[in-house]
Structure 1
Amino acid sequence: MMTAFSNWLDGSELGRYLLEREQAFFDRSVADAFGYRAVQFGASRHDFLRENRIPWRARIGEDGEVGVVCDAAQLPLDSRSVDLLLLPHTLDFNAHPHQVLREAERVLLPEGRLVLTGFNPLSLWGGRRLVQGARRPPWSGRFLRLSRLRDWLELLGFERADDAFMCYAPPFNRGDWLTRCRFMEAPGERWWPLAAGVYGVCAIKRQRGMRLITPRWQLARPAAQLVTAGERRHAACQPHDETL
C-alpha cells in the first residue's frame, strides 16, 4: 500500500499539497538530530532526511525502489543501532501499527529520535474517508487517532518532543480550489490545530529507569576510645590476675 500512496503523492494535486507541508515538517524535525545512523522507511522517492547531517543515511521500504525491501513490522536492523528513524505515514499503511512502533523502539538507541506523520480521522480529510470509502490511497489508510498514538508511545517509553499539525484546506483534488483555501492554513494552525488533516509527531526514546541495588556493607568496627595519660598510668598501677 505504501507504493500506491507514493504514487498518489506524486500524481495528484492533493498529494503534492500534502507533500509540500510534510517536507517542511521533516526538514524542521531532523535538522538538529545528531548521531551516526539515520533511516527513513517508506515514501522512498522523497528525501525527508535531506536537512540532516548524520553521516550514514538510508531509505528502506516495501517497494522495489530502495536498496532494502522489508516490512516495517520486522525491520532488518540491529537493536539499538539507529539514532534517527522516520516513518512517513507508515502506521497508516501497515496492518500492525503497534508492532511497527515496537520495532521502532527496538532499533532506536536511547535518546534516539522518532519522527512520523499520520492522517487525522477527526478532520475534513477523515470525513471524506467516511463518505468516499477506503478503497484507494490515501483514504485506504488507517487514520489513527493522535490520542491513541500518544498512549502507545508513552507505553513504549517515548517522550514526545513536538507535535505539529498541517493541511487545513478541504481535501479537494483540484489545484485551483486548494489555492483558494490557503487562507485556512494560518487561522487553522492558531485556532483549531486538532482539526488538521495531518499530524506530525517527534518523540525521543528515553532510557527506562533502573533500580540500583546497593550491597549491605558490614558494620564498621567501633573506633577506639581516646585514653588520657592519667588513665593510662592508673591502669598500669592496678594488680593483674595471673593464672597459674
Structure 2
Amino acid sequence: MPNMSDRSIIDWPAWTGSAPGRYVLDWEQAQLDRVVSDIFGYHALQLGMPQLDALRENRMTGRALVLDAASGASAPYTYPPANPRPGVASLPSANRGLHAPEGRSTVWCDLLDLPFEAQSVDLLVMPHTLEFTSDPHRLLREAERVLMPEGQLIILGFNSLSLWGARQSLGKVAGRPFVPDAHDMIAFTRIKDWIKLLGFDLERGRFGCYRPPLVAEKWLQRYQFMEAAGDRWWPIFGAAYMITAIKRVPGMRLIGPRKQKKPALAPGLAPVAAPHTRNEH
C-alpha cells in the first residue's frame, strides 16, 4: 500500500486510519464528548463523517447520522432503494459499514436540501462538513433553517492559519495534500463572520492539535510537549478548531420551561419528506 504522503488523493477512511488522522480525531472526539453531554432537547443530527461519533455522549432520544447521498465520497451505491423509508436509503454491501451506531437512524440525502422541517432540530454537529461541500454558505443556511430557536450548532474544521494549513497549501501545489482534499480549509475567522450574519451567537471557540504535521506515529509522540505549550502560548495556531454557536431569534425571550413540542420528525428521526434524489449509474 502506498505511503499516505505519496498519494495525490486522500479519502477520509484512509486518512482517519493514519497516525495524523487518529491524532486529530481523538482530539475532536474528546471535545465533542465533553460538550454534547450538556446539550438537551429532542432531536440531534450529525452531518457527515461517520468515522467520528459526534453524538455518543448526548442523551437526546432522536439522534441520527445524516450522510450525503450525492457526494460519491465512498463506494458507489444506488439511491433511492426499492420500498425505501422516506429519505433513508438501504445500501449495497460495499457501503453497509457507513451507518449510525446502534439505536440511531442513518439518513441519506442531499445535505444542501435537508429533508427536515424548519425549527425541528435542537443540536446540529458538522464535523468538517463545510470543508467538503460545494456550497458552504447554503449548508449553513440549511443549518439555520432546521435548528430550533436557541438550538446549538457545532462546527469542526481544519485551521488554515496553522502549520498543518501551510503544509496542506504546499502539498496541493505539489499534488500531495496532507489532509483529505475536497475543497479549501475555511479560516476560523471566516466561519465566525458567516454564522454571525445568520443570527448565531458564538458561545465558545477552541483550538487544538499543536504538534507538527508529521506522518509517522513516533514523531508525533515526540512532539507531545507542544500540546500544553501551544494551548498557552499560540492557541489560535492549532491544526483543528471547534466552534459552538446558538441560534438567536430577534425579539424572542424564553420564560419558564420549554413546552413539549409536537414531534417534527418520524420515529427514529426519519425525515418528514423524501429529499430530491438521483440514481447513480
* TM, length-normalised to structure 2: 0.70
1:148 to 190, 194, 202: 190
Name structure 2 gaps, 5 residues minimum: 1-9, 69-73, 75-94, 100-105, 253-281
Query: What is the aligned-residue RMSD (CA, Å)?
Result: 1.7
C-alpha distance in structure 2 between counterparts of 1:152 and 1:208, whole Å: 17
Note if 1:192 corresponds to 2:234: yes
State the secondary structure of the residue aligned to 2:11. Answer: helix
C-alpha distance in structure 2 between counterparts of 1:147 and 1:55, whole Å: 34
Aligned to 1:171: 213
C-alpha distance in structure 2 between counterparts of 1:29 and 1:99, whole Å: 26
Name structure 1 gaps, 5 residues minimum: 211-244
Alignment of 1:72-111 (within 5 A): 72-111=111-150
Alignment of 1:1-244 (within 5 A): 4-9=11-16, 11-62=17-68, 64=95, 65-66=98-99, 67-133=106-172, 137-209=179-251
1:52 aligned partner, one-letter code = N
Q: Which has the higher contact order (CA 8 A, sep 6+)?
A: 2
C-alpha distance in structure 1 between counterparts of 2:13 and 2:136, whole Å: 18
Q: Percent identity?
A: 47
Q: Is the 8 A contact 1:6 1:43 kept in 2?
A: no
Kindly provide the CA deviation profile for residues 119-178 of structure 1, in whole angstroms up to 9, marking residues without a partner as x.
111100111011111765424442111111111111100001110101111111110010
Kindly provide the CA deviation profile for residues 165-224 of structure 1, in whole angstroms up to 9, marking residues without a partner as x.
0111111111001001110000101111111111100000011237xxxxxxxxxxxxxx
Larger radius of gyration: 1
* Structure with more of its chain in helix, by fraction: 1
* TM, length-normalised to structure 1: 0.80
Matched positions, count: 207
C-alpha distance in structure 1 between counterparts of 2:211 and 2:165, whole Å: 12
Aligned to 1:237: none
State the secondary structure of the residue aligned to 1:154. Answer: helix
1:48 aligned partner, one-letter code = A
User: Structure 1 residues 7 and 42, CA, compared in 2 at 3 Å: closer, same or farther?
Assistant: farther
